[in-house]
């Protein structure tokens, strides 16, 4: 008898029929003897509907009130799912984030969970009750409603699983697992049975939108086994664990991630003096713009070129900040390009395989794709290329690293 | 400087534009130096949308979960209105029923307010803050979300006004006051400047849907001056107070109320023995059917006829209960009629005017309208007539009691 936390996303509860299907699935697991805590998102479309209402009043509404508004989305779902479970003869009870005592800081719209009081939940579980919790939300110490930010229902699921020491946190979504790359781009993309937290983190942050990155971090930190699976079909999904794959030769590259929502900005000819990076990025971070890649090359003639990427929505704001400071920094010029894409190869096996990066560059060169920027970590290599080459690059890399076969490995040309 | 509790109903906050108009009105009052606590309903249509979702899962959904679901309607409105107030430079803050500590019993769907903790609200008011409270909802001692039942936002407004000792509770709605009767039935129906709590109670319970009856009871009990006025136009509305009208000769009849949602049931020829009424109505009340009029006439030959009215939706259920018990009661037969209507004349002046009832019966007789049942209280006379005569009866009575003129009085034929 296992304790499972099951999280169902917006499309999995998008209609009353879908909610009934979720109830059937919970019933099946319950009958198998498992204890179930369910975490749900707002019905798909609902969050956008609420945002639209608020935007009709003000472009940037008060963040406290925005949380009061958005938290209703999940509240609707917990009530409807509990009704569907009760109809099936299960003892079920819904809880909002504040009712179940998910205490967060007061950073409205992007609150972080500080503690979860599990006592009441334990009593419910011991009584055989299915608990249905609203994802994405909590309350601060004063009782103000907070939200964890978009996609935060995954984080709720993992946090509950960690607090309750659940055997597994199952994330039900509209895909049946984590793929070697986006199947819409590469037909032969393959579902992975297992992936490590580190790999998943790189996949998630690079644009494989299966799981929210904070949830993966959380799961890794608290060693909560995380499984991604489809609420629309049966199947084992993809298990995300700390264990690396021991049963076969570790492939060097597990998957290809990409992101087409970035923009690139460059300050050319800035004096190569200590502290210059901080003086460039300080104003950017003060404006709440998140920076992804940062590349600074070796200096020539006492000046250097400094390049970074931001979310494409922040491009205009970042550019005007750079224009404002280029004079005082003594830069030669500011350049930017929003028509770029990032492609990354990810794999824990890279650590023990030499030559993975050069295999990547060779595969791209063969397709005459120019690499604009390169950035590496222990388990990934990312490049920035022209946006129009994205699909070509992903397919070339997927094939070069033989990811379609289950015995994936480094390509040997 | 007055403390006003302003309650805005569903049509008054039915769109973002209407919410902006409410914010303008609050701003105007605030600029005049008043302190404002706002209570809002769900946007019109929202509650029905939520009920529809639940009914798609189960015809009679769990009442605890229904409250979790329905309470989201008002929560959306408080967030949007607070945003609109903040946009106007007012310091505003939203509170759900549980956040503002409206503690109720745990009768889900029809909970009663037990206490309101005003300390935090007082601090907000003293800080010049506009408080926006979700109507219709609270939480029980354990933190479970409860609702006060349909139309319960009026009750929230009055309860807050009583707890805060507000100078006035203003109920904004889509009509500009309380009328002598429904203007859709009688063109010349007149808005009353003032009406007593007792009269308003009779008008409300008899189908003048302006105010929820519990709110009027509450206001009368705690002597909260209550004003009904339109959120769509300017005007003084109708003030409901304990003071009877002293400035002019008290008219005997203040208004004509009616209700076409009742059904009549009769047990004929039941033995006229002590306890028979309880034996008939016990099973009815056990089935949670509310009884309105009860009429039992003097007995002949040791048997009597026992008639009562219920909401038309409960007709079938009540009839089958009577069929089930008629044998054991020794009744001759059971009859019922759903095509009836109730018409009532209401006025505190009746207490000091003789002949009001007979004027009523004369006016109906003149139109050849047969009276099926009569029931009276100190300040009203109600009759049951055939449903098809309803409009005719209301118009005849409105004219007979000269309610179109501001100097209304007993009709003298």
ipTM of the complex: 0.77
* A107 falls within a domain: yes
* Domain total of chain A: 1
What DSSP line would sit under B51-94, residue for residue?
Answer: HHHHHHH-SS--HHHHHHHHHHHHHHHHHHHHHHHHHTT--EEE
Domain that includes residue B381, residue range: 255-259+340-400
- pLDDT at A407 (0 to 100): 46
The answer as to whether B238 is a domain residue is no
**pLDDT at position A413:** 29
Please report, rounded to a whole number, the percentage of residues in chain B having pLDDT higher than 70: 94
Q: For position A322, what pLDDT does the model report?
A: 95
Residue B23 shares a structural domain with residue B98: yes
CATH number of the structural domain spanning residue A120: 3.40.1160.10
- Out of B143, B174, B205, a domain closes at B174
| Least confident stretch, A39-43, A346-350, B364-368 | A346-350
Question: Do B89 and B59 share a structural domain?
Answer: yes
Give yes or no: residues B305 and B326 share one domain. Answer: yes
B-chain residues within 8 Å CB-CB of A97? Answer: none
In chain A, pLDDT over 90 holds for what percent of residues?
66
- Among B124, B151, B174, the domain-final residue is B174
Write the pLDDT tens digit of every residue in A352-379: 777 888 899 999 999 999 999 998 888 8
Name the more confident of B305 and A19: A19
Domain identity same for B83 and B106: yes
Q: Closest Cα partner for B206 from B68, B360, B84, B309? A: B309
Residue B111 lies in a domain: yes
Given a cut of 80, is residue A343 above it in pLDDT?
A: yes
Share the mean pLDDT of chain A. 90
pLDDT at B409 over 60: no
Helix axis angle, B390-400 to B356-366, nearest 10°: 130
- Same domain, residue pair B328 and B347: no
B204-254 pLDDT tens trace: 766 566 777 788 888 988 999 999 999 888 899 999 988 765 544 567 898
- Chain A hits for B62, CB-CB cut-off 8 Å, are 82-83, 86
Q: For all residues of chain B together, what is the average pLDDT?
A: 90
Same domain membership, residue B152 and residue B281: no
B333-337 and B113-116 beta bridge pairing: unpaired
pLDDT tens by residue, A127-167: 999 999 999 999 999 999 999 976 689 999 999 999 999 99
Query: Is B62 in contact with A76 (Cβ distance < 8 A)?
Result: no
Q: What is the pLDDT of residue B410?
A: 36
How many Å lie between the alpha carbon of B66 and the closest alpha carbon of chain A?
7
How many interface pairs between A and B have CB atoms less than 8 angstroms apart? 106
Does the pLDDT at position B130 exceed 80?
yes
Query: Using alpha carbons only, what angle is made at residue A379 by residues A378 and A381, rounded to the nearest 5 degrees?
Result: 90
- Crossing angle between the packed helical segments A153-163 and A213-221, to the nearest 10 degrees: 10
Lowest mean pLDDT among A181-185, A321-325, B66-70: A181-185
Report the sign of the C-alpha dihedral through residues B140, B144, B148, B149, in that order: negative
pLDDT tens-digit readout, B373-407: 998 888 889 999 999 999 999 999 999 999 986 54
Do B57 and A99 lie within an 8 Å CB cutoff?
Answer: no
- In the stretch 118-147 of chain A, residues with CB closer than 8 A to chain B read 143-145
Tokens found for residue A167: 């055997």
Annotated binding residue A235: no
Task: Provide the chain B residues 10-29 that lie in CB contact (below 8 A) with chain A.
Answer: 16, 19-20
Q: Identify the band that residue A412 occupies on the pLDDT scale cut at 50, 70 and 90.
A: very low
With CA atoms as reference, report the closest residue to A28 among A163, A172, A127.
A172
pLDDT at A408: 43
Asked if B57 lies within 8 A of A93 by C-beta distance, the reply is no
- B230 touches A: beta carbon within 8 Å: no
Residue B287 has pLDDT above 70, yes or no: yes
- Are B17 and B85 members of one domain? yes
């Amino acid at each position: 008898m296992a304790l499972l936390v099951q999280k169902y996303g917006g499309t999995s509860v998008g209609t009353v029929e879908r909610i009934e299907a979720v109830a059937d699935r919970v019933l099946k697991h319950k009958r198998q003897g498992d204890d179930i805590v369910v975490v749900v998102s707002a019905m798909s479309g609902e969050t956008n509907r609420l945002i639209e209402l608020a935007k009709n009043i003000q472009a940037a509404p008060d963040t406290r009130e925005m949380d009061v508004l958005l938290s209703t989305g999940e509240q609707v779902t917990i009530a409807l799912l509990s009704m569907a479970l009760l109809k099936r003869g299960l003892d079920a009870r819904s809880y909002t984030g504040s009712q179940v005592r998910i205490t967060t800081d007061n950073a409205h719209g992007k609150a972080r969970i500080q503690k979860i009081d599990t006592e009441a939940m334990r009593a419910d579980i011991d009584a055989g009750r299915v608990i249905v919790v609203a994802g994405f939300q909590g309350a601060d110490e004063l009782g103000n409603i907070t939200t964890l930010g978009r996609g935060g229902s995954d984080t709720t699921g993992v946090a509950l699983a960690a607090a309750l020491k659940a055997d597994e946190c199952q994330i039900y979504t509209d895909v049946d697992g984590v793929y070697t790359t986006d199947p819409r781009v590469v037909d032969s993309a393959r579902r992975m049975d297992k992936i490590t937290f580190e790999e998943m983190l790189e996949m998630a942050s690079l644009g494989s939108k299966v799981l929210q990155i904070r949830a993966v971090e959380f799961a890794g930190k608290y060693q909560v086994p995380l499984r991604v699976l489809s609420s629309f079909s049966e199947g084992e999904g993809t298990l995300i664990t700390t264990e690396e794959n021991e049963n076969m030769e570790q492939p060097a590259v597990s998957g290809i991630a990409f992101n087409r929502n970035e923009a690139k900005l460059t300050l050319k000819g800035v004096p190569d003096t200590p502290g210059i990076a901080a003086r460039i990025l300080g104003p950017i971070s003060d404006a709440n713009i998140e920076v992804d890649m940062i590349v600074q090359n070796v200096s020539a003639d006492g000046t250097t070129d400094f390049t970074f990427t931001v979310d494409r929505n922040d491009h205009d704001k970042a550019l005007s900040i750079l224009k404002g400071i280029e004079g005082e920094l003594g830069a030669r010029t500011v350049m930017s390009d929003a028509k770029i894409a990032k492609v990354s190869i990810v794999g824990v096996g890279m650590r023990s395989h030499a030559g993975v990066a050069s295999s990547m560059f060779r595969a791209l060169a063969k397709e005459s794709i120019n690499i604009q920027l390169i950035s590496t970590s222990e388990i990934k290599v990312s490049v920035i290329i022209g946006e129009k080459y994205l699909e070509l690059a992903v397919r070339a890399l997927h094939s070069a690293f033989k990811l379609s076969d289950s015995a994936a490995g480094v390509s040997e040309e």
